[in-house]
Each structure stands twice: as C-alpha cells, then as structure tokens.
Structure 1
Amino acid sequence: MENLIPSPCYDVEARNPNEIWKTDDILERHTPLLAVQIALCIFFTSIFYAILRPLRQPRIVAEVLAGFATSLFVAADDSLADTFMPAKGILSLETYANLGIMCYVFLSGLEMNFDSILQVRKNDTGIAFLGIVIPIVMGMGFFGGIQKVSDTLAENKGVYIGREYLFWCLALPLSSFPLLARILTDLKLLYTRMGKAALRAAMFSDTYGWVTFVALIPFSTDNAKGAILSVFSTMVFILLCIFVLRPLITKHIDQDTRQNDSTVVFLLIGVFVCSYITDFLGTHPVVGAFVYGLILPHGQFTELVMGKLDNFVTGAISPLFFFRVGLTMNLRVLAHQKHWPLIVLVILLLATPKVLSTYVATFFFDLPARHSIGIGLLLNIKGALALIMLNMAWDRQILSAVTFTIMVCAILAMTVVAPLFINSIYKPRKRYENFRMRTIEMLRNAAELRILSCVHNPQQAICMVTLLKTFNANRISPLHVFGVHLVELTGEAAAAATALLADQMDHHLMTHFGSQDSTISQSKSESTISNIFTTLQKEDNTIRVDNLQAVSDYRTIHEDIHSLVEQNLTALILLPFHKQPNGLEEETNEAYREINLKVMQDAPCSMALLVDRGLGLVSNTNLHIVMVFVGGPDDREALAFAWRMVRIGNSGNTLSMVRIILAGEAAEARISTSDDAKWATIRRVDDERQQVLDGEYIDSFRFKAVYNNDSITYSEEEVHNGEELVSLLQALDKDECDLYIVGQGNGRNTIVFSSFMEWCDNPELGVIGDIIASSSIGSRSSVLVVKQFGSEEKGCVRQIQQSSGADDV
C-alpha cells in the first residue's frame, strides 16, 4: 500500500472562474472533492467513535483510525483512490486540516489557566521533569535500535539523523493536558489524588512541549541564523501578548457586558491574526493560536466561547487533521521490514519511559508506588501537539515512513491502553470496598464533622448554609464543609471548567473565584454560591469551608460526588430535594431526583435529603427542631444529627424528640410469601437486635442530653395503626416547627409501613418524610431525611446473603 499523502509538491492549475462546478465529473473540482473528503472523514470517525466510546477512548483515536481505515478502503482499488484521494485534492485537504488544527489548538490554550501554570507545586514539577528527562534519554536508545533493525532508514545516509532524533525526543515525553482532563472526567478520577497529580504534571509537560516547540522547531531547517532570529522574534511576540495584549482584551471583556456572538467573532479574528504572525516569524501557525487562547480571560467568557465553537471545531473541522495523520500511516512498510517483530516490540516498549519516570519519582516525593504507575500510564496520553510535530517532520521529509508510522502507532497504543488499564485497576466500586466511612452515630462528639453539601443554584446554597449554621461548631468539635456546585456537562467544552477545577482543588478556598484572571462578567452563579458558603467561615472560625465544583454529565455526576466523599473523608452528604419552593408553587426538576437516587443507591457515607420549605428565609439560626424516632439505623443516624445541633446548652436551638412506639396492628411484622421459615427467623432476630440498639441509643440520649439540657424535650407516643400515625404527625405539625429531622427507614419490616410505602409519592423520603412533605398535611416546615451509611447491609438482607453464601459453601 503506497502512501496516500504524497510529498508536498503541488501543480496549481488556473481555471476559468465562470466554469465553477460546470463539468461532467464534479469530483474534478476542489470544493466538491473537499466536501466528499470531509463527509468520508466524519462517517468513518463516527463509526469508530461509537465503537470506542464504551471503552473510554478519546475522539482523537477514532479520528486517526478513521484515516487509516479510509486508506485501506481506497487502496483496495485504484479507481477509489483517484476518486476520493487524488493528488490534486491534497492541497485543499491540507489547507482545511491546518485551519482545523489552528482552531483546535486555540481551544486547548483556552482550557489551560495561565495563572495555574505558574502555581504548579514543587512535587508535581519534579514528577513532570523526570517524565521529560527519562523518556528523552530512553527514547534516544530506542531510536538507535530502530536504526539498526530498519531496512529503509539508511536512505537518509545520516543527513537527517540529527533532526530525526530531535523530533523523536520532542514527541515522546509529551502529555496532553486537555485530553487527559477529559479522560479523567470520563473515568471519574478527576478528584482523586492520582488524578490531580497527573493533571498538574501534564500541565507542566504540555507547557514544556510548547516551549520546546517554539525554541527548537525553527532549527529543523538548514538556516541556523534564520532559526535564531525566528525564535527570538517569536519570544518577543509571546511576551507582547502576555503583558500588552492580555490586559487590553481583559479590559475590553470587562467593559462589554453583553458578550454575545459578535464578541466571539471579533475575538476569533485574533486567532488567525496571531497564527499568521507566528507563521510569518518562522515558527508555526499553531503557536500563535495557542498563545492567543492561553491569554484570554477565564470564567463565563471562556464558557461562552467554548460553547459556541467546541462542538463545531471538534466535530467538523479539526478531525480532518487527525484523519490526515491516519491516511499517512503506512503499516505495509513496517510489515515488509525484516525485523518487524522487534519493531513491534519497540512500539510497545515506548510506553515504559513515562511509567519508569513516575516510579523513580516515588523515591524523591511522597507518592505511593501504585499511584506512580497510574500516573505514568495517564501521562502517556498524547494529544494534538505530538501529532503536529510528527506531521511537520513528515511534511519536511525529515522522518521516514518507518519512523513516522512507528511513532504514530506508539502514540495511538499509549493513548488507547491508558484508559483501559486505569479503568480496570481503579474501578470506583473496588475503591469503595476498602473505604468504610464513619457515620454520625459512630462519630465521637468531640471529633470533626466533615460534610459534603451539594447544590445546583444559589437558593439551595442559602438553605444549606442556614442548616449548617445550626450545628454550632466549636474548637472541640469543629465543622468542615465542602460546598460543591453541581454543574451539568452539556458538551466537551465543559471539560475546560473541570480541568481548571481540578487544578484548584488543593486550595481551601478556590482561588478560581477570585483570581486576577477572573473578569467582572464571570459566572454569577458560581461566584454567588462560593460567597454564600464562604460566609460560614467568615462568621465562625471553627468552621472550615472548601468551595468545589463537580462538572459532569448528570447521568454520571453521582460518581463524582462519591469520589469527592472518598477524597475528603466526609461522613455525610447533604443533597437538595428535587422540589424547590418558587413563590406559591413548587418547582420540580426530575434530573435532580435522578441524581439523588443514584447517590443514595451506592453512597460511601451517610446522606441526607433536605426538603426546603423556606428554611433559607429564616432570619436567625435558632431553630425549633422536631425529631421523629421510630427505630432502626436511619433513625439513630437522624437522632445523632439532631443531637449535634443541641449538644451545647446555649446553642439557641430547641429540640423536641418524639419517639413513636408501634403497638398492636402497627407492630405486626410483614411476612413475605417468598420467605421460608429460616429467612423469617433471621428477619425476626435482626428486628430484635435493632430494637436493642435503639433502646441503648435512646437511653444514652436521654441520660446525656435530655436530663442536662433544658432546650431538649422527650416524649413517647403509641401508634396502633396507619390512621393514628397520620393523625399524630398532623398534631405535631400544629406547633409549626422550623425543621423536621427523620430517618428514611425503608428497611422497616412492618405491615403498616410496607403498605404506606406502596403509596408514597417520593419513596426516597421514606414513609414519615413523605407524609410530612406531602400536600395532604400542608406542612410549611422543612424536612431533613437521613439515611445511614450501610443501613441496608446492617439489616437482615446482609445476614440472608451471608447465610445463603454459607449454605452454598
């Protein structure tokens, strides 16, 4: 199979402008031919992306493979090659591809925060530095081996050997920061220690790549004097962009409150202007595009630009560049090599330098060996810059077909293998199996309580802050709040915000909201939510606050919440109910409900749903709280929650604890027809055990709290049937408390609660919570429904599973 992309020598033919597309064969004209090539690229890319997407593969892999598949398709018949990939159409193809890569690189620069690059930590810099030096040294050895076993490299007779070394060693150490950010988001590893370390190291590596690209690429020509002048003038241009152009653009965006499409179009012109300047200076057009994207201010403006351009650029323009790289690959040349098995071995071994470098870093930095291997695999992910370097070397005939194909195959292999290995090694469920969080019930009263509070909008944040203030933290028992803004990932452009978030996650208060790079027009919702949570720390120095973001698809954002719980060792997740007051009516969002249900299904710690009925409008934090206790682990967790609110005598909160004692018909256990006698016995034993634990916890609460705190009252009420239960809850609501705290209690094995559960509008609230929150009672009080971590596993279900497993053995 011959190369489909010939050497760049074009025969430009002048045509009569009055004969546009007027010919028997329309594919003879440039524009229709280009349209067919674009369609072919998108068609094959869509097929490969659909196949590779479940394997967490980035789109760039599908685009390169689409080009290679097209080369096989047209190589099957000379007429197909003449029709779809004729030599006369290469100029149009490359022009369009270069336009696409300029836009792609511009968006990549827009994703990277210029201030964050200057704030990379020492350890991350060291990991990245070793990840550059060791691959360069080992890469030279690999290249020397390729020279000896290859049958065709002798053609150059040493003329381009030094330049081949240059491009080989420049491309091998690179890591793609934007591509890695997207993959970490897909793998739900963005908030882990390993993910953050890999992302920061990739940022440093990406910066190194662009610096070396500017400094060394001009020397790939024979004009050394011109190369020095090119590097110097390009550096002057970059400095002017940073210190002159950047402040002017920031000032213009601050003053332009509209930020509409015209603003985006006006600034987009700068991409092509800067690209032209760096190309004129002798470097490369992508340098100007990247620098221009890097200096633009971040915030709402970044989201606006990315939202307007990202889908079009990544879906219709830039794929043709990577498609062209796939077209240029020539596996037939490798197959005809005498020592092709050794070449295949070298392709596989090219992934080892990065892993080895991060493993060496474990001896110098505080990095677990297991994480070092994961970071090394992640840093092997290459992106556009490595392919740009190789493509430039191919166009300038510096790299041979063998060397070029080997490097492209190695880049593809490393990028494909990394997500597969990481996904199999660091499965979220496997991480949670070894992660057993403390519940509030088991947490010592003097221990720090760490709460992950998730919100979608400022109104929910105000309500959450009002609730958190009632904990009355002190120096003996402090409170650590992680305020998480849940942001829906509406497209690949939002990965930029995710990447920037991960870079800022080590700060107690996210500097992203107050950095000098922010503009007046930055997202009001983000800054408002951040400021609302920050008031907790400003008003009480015993409360620590970290403002975070979780940017993901709503279908999988629960995994990000679980990762944040594991990362920050929180004991409770606070989530807003999917119904929110909006004037006299309630606003319902089913997407929020789906998130709550998924978080609840596999939460790695206790969680609570807050039904807001105006809690955020309370003028002070001295609340009248009613805690309804029926029994079970969820109710004990709810009581522990309420207990912490009033554990200080002068807290200002009042707690009315009402214990409902089931008697008569209400106490009858539900017996399923599928239960045999053995299972029924296990259920009864578990119910008795739960009753013992309930009694012990209630006695402890009464002795330590009720008898020593006048703000706490305790009462017991007997309930014989469902009607009495509803009547009791209606009577309690006449006192018009500010907040109800109840346990979810879905595991209660009684006939009354089972029948109520069948009619619940919101089963996630449990029977008691659903009755209080329903419109039939008409309660205006907010409700907090608590579910204890592992409550289902602690019940009869777990014992039944263990018993069945024992029998099987």
Structure 2
Amino acid sequence: MLGPTVLGQSETLERLVYDETKEAVLNTLSELAMLYMYFLVGVKMETNLILKPNRNALKIGLSNFVIPFMLITFCLHYLRSYILVPLEPWFLVLLSLTWAISSFPAIAHVMDELNLLTSELGKLAMSCAIVNDMVSWSFIAGTTVFRQKNLVSAISAIVSVAAFLVCTIYVLRPGIVGIIRKTPEGNAVGQSSIVIILLGVLVTGFIGDVIGITAMSGAFALGVIIPEGSTLGVTVVERTEIILGEILLPFFFLRCGLFFNIFKIRNVKNLAVLEFIIFIGRVGKLIGTMLPCNLNAQHSLCLALMLNTRGIINVSAFRMWRISKVIDDECFTIFVLNDLLVTALTTPLLTSLYKPPRYFATHAAGTIQNARPNHELRIVACLHDDRSVNDNTSLIEAFHPTSESPIYIYVLHLVKLVGRSLALVADPSTIYRCDSRKLTTSDLIMSAFRKYSDCSHGTVGFRPFTIIAPYKTMHEDICKIAHDNRASLILLPFQGNDTNVGAGGGTAFSNLIQNVLTVAPCSVGLLVGQGYKCCRLVVRGHFSYSVLFIFFGGPDDRETLALCSRMSAHPGLSVTVIRFQISDDGNDNEREKQLDESVLHEFRLKNIYNDCAVFREEVVNDVEQALLLIRSLKAEFELVMVGRRHGACKMLSGAMEDWSENSELGVLGDMLASSDFLQNNYSLLVVQAGM
C-alpha cells in the first residue's frame, strides 16, 4: 500500500516519507530484521534431522531440489538473451537455487496456520524442507567460493568459511551449552545471557559479511548451534519474536514494498520469459516430489504443494539482489508477485485436497462399562508437569490393578511447541539433550511412574511418550495414541486458568481439553488434583483412600459408576455412592431412567457384603438443597467423582449453567472445583463417557 504501486504515486507522500535520510534508517532496520529472522530460523531448525535425516525425506528432499534446479538452470542458459537485465553466470546459479529451494520456515508457518504440524504429511514436508534447505545452503557456500577471481582468493574464502564454522561449533556451542547446564530446570535464563546471545547475532552477522558468506548466513550459523527446545532456545525465541514481529519486520516489508512497482512491468517479452522459467521450476518441484514419493497420487500432490510454498526467506533474497542492483524493479516485482500468487493458490488447494485422517472420531468408543472383566485396562495419562504425578498414581492405584485385571498406562508428557518448528511424538529417552546429567521434567515424571510400576508386582505397566506440539493440534496426537492402543480412558489434568500450565497459559490448555472432549475415541477423565500438596505414598498393601461419587443420572454418571464399581473391590478403599433424586426434575426419558436403575442395582448387588462400599439415596426438593447436602459431605473424602454432563437432570443443568466458568468440567464439576469448595483439599475427577 505504501509503495509506488498505490500510495507512492502521491508526490506529497513521497517527499514526506521517502527522502534519503529516512531511506538509510529504513535500510538499517530492514537489515536487522533479516539478521534476526535468519537467526530464529537457525534456532528452530531440527539439527537431529540435519545429522540423521529420514531416508524417505532425504530421497524426496534431494529430488525436490535437484530436478527443478537443473530445469531452471537449463532454461536460463538458453533463454538468458531474452531477459533484458544482463545476468552473470554465478547469478544464474543463485537464481536457480532460489527457485529450487523449499523454504523450511515458510512451510512451517503454513503447516501451523493450517493445523497440519502434527499430521503425518505435515511432518514429512518439514523433514523434506530441512534436507532441501541444507543442500541449498551448501550450494550457496560453494557458489561463494567459485565466484572468487583467482585461486588464492578461492582458497582464502574456503579457509575463512572453515575457520568460522570450526569456531562456531567448537568455541561458541560449548559456551552456549554451558549456559544451559547452569540454568536449573524450570528456572528462567539470566537476562545477561539473553543480551549476549542477541548481541552475538550482530557479531556473527558482521563476520559472515566480511568473509563473504553474507551476514544472514553468519546469524543463521549462530542460531543452529543453540539446541532447539532448550530453555535458552525457548527464551531467545520468545524474546526475539516480539522484537522481530512488532518492530523490525514491518520496516523490512516497507522496504520491500518500495521496490515493488507493478507499473514497472512494461516489457511483455521479458515478463513471458521469466514467467515461463518460473513455471518450469514449479513443475520441476511437482515432479521432483511426486516421483520418489511412496504415497497415493492425492497425498503426493499435497506434499508437492506444501514444498512449493514460498515465504519471507525468498523475498529477502530478491531484496538483496535488488539492493545489489543485480536485478531491477521490474524483475523484483515479477519475482515477488509470483511468490504471492503461488502461496495464495497453494493454501486453499491444500485445504480442499488434504484432510488428515482423523479416523479416531468415527470409531466405536472405548469405555469402562464396555471393558471386558478380568482383562487389561488401558489408560492414557496426560501431564504437563510433575505437579500432578502423585494425583495420577494415587488415582490409578485406586482403580485396583490386579494380576487378573492389570492396568497399562500410556504416560504422555505434554510440551507446548516453542523454540522449534517440528512437532514430535517420541520416547523421552530418544529426544536429544545437550546435558544428559541434568534431570528434565520428563525425567521426573517418567521416573515416578517407573518406580510405581516396579513396585506394583506386575499389575501396572507403562510406556512413556513426550508430545511436543502446538496446543491447538495436540489433541490429535493424544487421541491417536488412545485409539491405536484401544484405551478405555484418557486422564487430563485440569488447572483452571493457571498461567503455569505449559508455556501457553491456561486458556490454550483449556482449549486443548475441549478438543479432546469433542473427538476422544474413549471416555475422558478430568483430574482436578492437589498438585504438590498431595504427598500420598502409593505402596502396595498400605494404600488407603476415601471416595465419594455423586450420582444424578445420565451416561456420564453411569460410566463413573463403572469406575466406582471397579474401585470398590480395592481392600484399602472406602467408596460412598450417593444418588440424588430431585422431586419433579423434569426428566421424562424412561429409557435413561431404566439404564440408571439397572447400573445402580448391579453396583448394590456386587457390594452387598462389602462394608467399605456404601450406597444411599437422598431425595431433595430442589438443586439448592442438594448442593447444601454435598457441601456438608465433601470434607470427609479425599476424592470426589462426578459425571460431566447431567442431561437427564434438567433442573440441575438449567439452574447452574449460567454460573459455570469452566464449561469443560460441566456444571457440577465446575462448582466442586471452585476455590470455595476446594478449600478442604480433596481431588476431583470429572468423567465424560465415550460416545
């Protein structure tokens, strides 16, 4: 808008904004934007995939680069005479490289926007882009050497680049790792360390410019040696992204906009030749992706579209060429316009063609009620930190694992994707750590569950996972693990609006819970625990627990009663089930009433000789009377269980729905989780039955 294509046509605005003094400041700020942007690309780069790329990604990434590179180079060689701007031979190689590259940050951004970071195709596209980028950077380094005028200059360039890389890897990286090691787990990195790193970007950029590999390459090298996902990496990314996004990048886009002038496109032949070459490059990338891809035609095409995505890295290359006067405003405008059109077409095509296989939402749900007796009960336990470990182990022990009916736990440590670009689901022991001697949150969580499993005499097994993903798509990984392993219950921690929940605050985690509740392939339990206040030692043979279940009726209450029925067999538990019947509750669903009566009868029959299992009915006139009675009872118990929804009890839902602050807990669960009720320090389990 501010460029010469639109508002820049005004001479008054041009005199006001675009004088030489302001242009110098604009150039400086846009250069800084480029430095820190390339630095962030390096920080988020998955070094593990660079060193040990997946074979399929390596094959596709190389083919996706080589085929378009050769086609564009061939076309440029034979059509260069038709291009008005005289092009040096070395620049033809750079131009081919730029159109052959699949920009990793651009693809990561599009995958994030389309919620495809956790999809299988999205992960493959990111891995291929990393391979493609590494090959491209190697070619650029080689071009820098071969551009030298004589052998002495070439050798000098090689030695300079090698010395810079050696210094970066063997001097700077150990210093950065030392900073990470000195920072205790969970503590913030010192401000002085952050300042040193951010100033280091300027220094490495300057060195990169001096030795001829460009300032951006120097900043990128510094970013790569910072371990992705580390405390330092996360903090640096969070601080730098604010400065970059809010201050520096707008100046970069403004500077690019001043070069963009659609009225400069005057020569039709020049336009046609460049468009033909660019089109050949796009087709080459499609062929280079689809040929070696072992996927069906539709998914291969979607992967090719992903790898054709263009972004700010490509625009930055065009900008550098324009500043160096290698290309003119006409070529710059054509190049940028093509990038805009390709991205504008790719995104809606991807949205319409690729639908990730969210098959878990269409399968029959696993529930506790449907679980076969005397068979293994499988539970997916999700934790975002070690505060809820004791709550989870106590609850699982209360589920009464035995040799006839053991429990297998899939323990998921949920980590918000920050400081890296690639989503990940893996065993914690396989994730790279710069300091293996330092205990991480995952170590503490898994160690506690391993110790509990070892002390269970074979009745409890577990398998650890770490999920690193954005909260908005993390539910897909959770539900996929539950579906693939035929789990009957997903346990999620609930901390309300606690800003310590992950790195994204309570709101993002609350949205994650809502997503799981919507698409879960089995029952879901929301555990409002006591955190570090829960110091119960789970020891087989010495475990005691008092449980209260409040029954109003409906599918969720029946599922919760199935859990209570299992728990009532535990010799160390006392289970109290109170059924509330509200006079004239508005429930006219006879089928639901029959189902409620049936499960209650089964529970009473099973525990007829069990003195530790108590069942009683309370008839109340209204909701207020029921709540007063609940308030008087809760102090006697360590765990309170409720169903999430009470559709059959219309009075309960209608009277309390407007008060609810946390809809994911349901009306009754939200009330019991309030600070007014939780002051007696009991845990709360809210259950939603699989549908």
The TM-score, its normalising length taken from structure 1, stands at: 0.70
Secondary structure of 1:102 counterpart: helix
1:118 is matched with 51
Secondary structure of 2:268 counterpart: coil
Question: What is the rounded CA distance, in whole Å, between the counterparts of 1:755 and 1:83 in structure 2?
Answer: 63
Q: 1:202 aligns with which of 129, 133, 138?
A: 129
Write the letter of the residue equivalent to 2:441: T
Once structures 1 and 2 are overlaid, which stretch shifts more, 393-402 or 207-216?
Answer: 393-402
Contact 2:393 2:538 in 1 (8 A): no
Question: What is the rounded CA distance, in whole Å, between the counterparts of 2:535 and 2:264 in structure 1?
Answer: 73
Q: Does 1:743 align with 2:643?
A: yes
2:501 is matched with none
Contact 1:659 1:717 in 2 (8 A): yes
Write the letter of the residue equivalent to 1:627: F
Q: 2:536 aligns with which of 597, 611, 618?
A: 618
Question: What is the rounded CA distance, in whole Å, between the counterparts of 1:752 and 1:477 in structure 2?
Answer: 37
Secondary structure of 2:53 counterpart: coil
Write the letter of the residue equivalent to 2:683: S
Question: What is the rounded CA distance, in whole Å, between the counterparts of 1:214 and 1:385 in structure 2?
Answer: 17
Question: What is the rounded CA distance, in whole Å, between the counterparts of 2:663 and 2:12 in structure 1?
Answer: 65
Alignment of 1:27-106 (within 5 A): 69-73=2-6, 75-77=8-10, 80-81=13-14, 84-86=17-19, 93-106=26-39
Residue by residue over 1:210-264, the C-alpha shift from the partner in whole angstroms, topping out at 9 and shown as x without a partner, is 2222222343465565345413430332133112331134335545788433333
Write the letter of the residue equivalent to 2:593: Q
Secondary structure of 1:169 counterpart: helix
Q: 2:462 aligns with which of 529, 538, 543?
A: 543
Question: What is the rounded CA distance, in whole Å, between the counterparts of 2:381 and 2:76 in structure 1?
Answer: 51
1:690 is matched with 592
2:525 is matched with 608
Contact 1:264 1:305 in 2 (8 A): yes
2:197 is matched with 267
Alignment of 1:283-682 (within 5 A): 283-297=213-227, 299-338=230-269, 350-363=281-294, 367=295, 369-399=297-327, 403-425=331-353, 434=362, 437-444=365-372, 446=375, 449-455=378-384, 457-471=385-399, 478-485=407-414, 487=416, 495-497=418-420, 499=421, 502=423, 505-509=424-428, 511-512=430-431, 515-516=433-434, 527-528=440-441, 531-540=444-453, 542-551=461-470, 557=471, 559-569=472-482, 572-578=489-495, 591=507, 595=511, 598-599=514-515, 602-605=518-521, 606-613=523-530, 616-620=534-538, 622=543, 623-643=545-565, 645=567, 653-654=572-573, 656=575, 658=577, 660=579, 662=581, 666=583, 668-669=585-586
Deviation, 1:304, is 3.0
Secondary structure of 1:785 counterpart: strand
Write the letter of the residue equivalent to 1:631: G
Write the letter of the residue equivalent to 2:537: S
Question: What is the rounded CA distance, in whole Å, between the counterparts of 1:758 and 1:311 in structure 2?
Answer: 38
1:46 is matched with none
Aligned residues: 662
Write the letter of the residue equivalent to 2:575: S
Q: 2:615 aligns with which of 706, 715, 722?
A: 715
Question: What is the rounded CA distance, in whole Å, between the counterparts of 1:597 and 1:252 in structure 2?
Answer: 35
Contact 2:36 2:219 in 1 (8 A): yes
Write the letter of the residue equivalent to 2:445: I
Contact 1:761 1:770 in 2 (8 A): yes
Secondary structure of 1:72 counterpart: coil
Contact 1:175 1:205 in 2 (8 A): yes
From the superposition, tell whether residues 313 and 698 of structure 1 become closer, same or farther in structure 2 (CA, over 3 Å). Answer: same
Deviation, 1:539, is 3.5
What RMSD over aligned residues (CA atoms) do the two structures have, in Å?
Answer: 4.3
Contact 1:773 1:779 in 2 (8 A): no
Question: What is the rounded CA distance, in whole Å, between the counterparts of 2:266 and 2:482 in structure 1?
Answer: 53
Residue by residue over 1:346-386, the C-alpha shift from the partner in whole angstroms, topping out at 9 and shown as x without a partner, is 656654444443333433xxx45544333333322334543
Secondary structure of 1:70 counterpart: coil
Secondary structure of 2:534 counterpart: helix
Secondary structure of 2:171 counterpart: helix
Deviation, 1:337, is 0.4
Residue by residue over 1:386-432, the C-alpha shift from the partner in whole angstroms, topping out at 9 and shown as x without a partner, is 33443444455545666544433333333344444444555789877
From the superposition, tell whether residues 403 and 768 of structure 1 become closer, same or farther in structure 2 (CA, over 3 Å). Answer: closer
Question: What is the rounded CA distance, in whole Å, between the counterparts of 2:668 and 2:84 in structure 1?
Answer: 81
Q: 1:782 aligns with which of 676, 679, 683?
A: 683
Secondary structure of 1:742 counterpart: strand
Q: Does 1:186 align with 2:113?
A: yes
Contact 1:607 1:787 in 2 (8 A): yes
Deviation, 1:595, is 3.9
Contact 2:580 2:626 in 1 (8 A): no
* Structure 2: runs of 5 or more not aligned: 455-460, 499-504
Write the letter of the residue equivalent to 2:125: A
Deviation, 1:634, is 0.5
From the superposition, tell whether residues 253 and 691 of structure 1 become closer, same or farther in structure 2 (CA, over 3 Å). Answer: closer
* Structure 1: runs of 5 or more not aligned: 1-65, 488-493, 552-556, 582-588, 671-683, 791-809
Once structures 1 and 2 are overlaid, which stretch shifts more, 236-245 or 428-437?
Answer: 428-437
Contact 2:83 2:270 in 1 (8 A): no
Write the letter of the residue equivalent to 1:204: V
From the superposition, tell whether residues 403 and 754 of structure 1 become closer, same or farther in structure 2 (CA, over 3 Å). Answer: closer
From the superposition, tell whether residues 780 and 274 of structure 1 become closer, same or farther in structure 2 (CA, over 3 Å). Answer: closer
Secondary structure of 2:39 counterpart: helix
Secondary structure of 2:645 counterpart: coil
From the superposition, tell whether residues 462 and 323 of structure 1 become closer, same or farther in structure 2 (CA, over 3 Å). Answer: farther
Write the letter of the residue equivalent to 1:294: V
Deviation, 1:291, is 0.8
Contact 1:537 1:545 in 2 (8 A): no
1:37 is matched with none
From the superposition, tell whether residues 235 and 624 of structure 1 become closer, same or farther in structure 2 (CA, over 3 Å). Answer: same
Question: What is the rounded CA distance, in whole Å, between the counterparts of 1:256 and 1:565 in structure 2?
Answer: 30
Contact 1:102 1:285 in 2 (8 A): yes
Deviation, 1:170, is 0.8
Secondary structure of 1:483 counterpart: strand
Question: What is the rounded CA distance, in whole Å, between the counterparts of 1:780 and 1:192 in structure 2?
Answer: 40
Question: What is the rounded CA distance, in whole Å, between the counterparts of 1:645 and 1:575 in structure 2?
Answer: 19
Contact 1:177 1:199 in 2 (8 A): yes
From the superposition, tell whether residues 550 and 482 of structure 1 become closer, same or farther in structure 2 (CA, over 3 Å). Answer: farther
